[in-house]
A and B are shown apart, each in its own frame.
Chain A
């Protein structure tokens, strides 16, 4: 059973850097094809993909936010970290991490988000 959970500050000030951690279980990020993605959702609005890190350390980012984002593996083998710089009130959103598969997923849900964390509401305000 795959589980994921986001942790980090729920309130950040404008211009600060947001650091969130996704702690997961039920899969290994060393397994070929595995990935952990970050997705956000402003209150009452649609989902927006932010970035993803794959088992082989390949990282991909939303073109519109690429300059502000960094996704890395954490110090623990079951953690992934998201950093977003220069936070603004428009970045107020629920931030989710999710499991994804690509490249070694024949017959499975390739290139989707098949398991999600519960989400963490991050408010940007002075």
Chain B
């Protein structure tokens, strides 16, 4: 079974910082790699799909990249509304898998 890990699991950052979150897989992944943002008490929100395509309405400060077993989500300039937990998600062999999440908090 494919396992996803995310690093870091927690990060403390300031408004304006550049933030990078990494999602690694135990084996090679398909291009069906997505990222979600979740704020407390709310449902997750799709940010990026297909590794690097921004979902409609998502600010351009979010970007995604990667291939094979390592993928990244980058926030170019952290804004107050970006403090949340971020999850990667993979789809392979008709199974969906989520990463364990990265919590981004205010420094």
Tell me whether A and B are bound partners. yes
Q: Which A residues are closer than 8 A to B by beta carbons?
A: 37, 39, 46-49, 52, 60, 62-63, 96, 98, 102, 109-114, 116-119
Q: How far is the CB of B30 from chain A (nearest CB, A)?
A: 8
Given A109-B34, A109-B55, A112-B49, A46 contacting B43 (CB threshold 8 A): no
Q: How far is the CA of A63 from the CA of B93 in the complex (A)?
A: 11
Q: Of residues B1, B32, B94, B99, which shows the largest number of chain A Cβ atoms within 10 Å of its Cβ?
A: B94
Given the interface pairs A109-B46, A112-B89, A116-B43, the reply to whether A47 lies near B94 with Cβ below 8 Å is: no
- Report which B residues bind A (CB closer than 8 A): 1, 32, 34, 36, 38, 43-46, 49-50, 53, 55, 87, 89, 91, 94-101
Q: Which residues of B contact A62 (CB under 8 A)?
A: 95
A52 closest partner in B (C-beta)? B96
Is the contact region of chain B dominated by helix, strand, or loop, or is it mixed? strand
The reply to whether A46 and B101 form a contact with Cβ atoms under 8 Å apart is yes
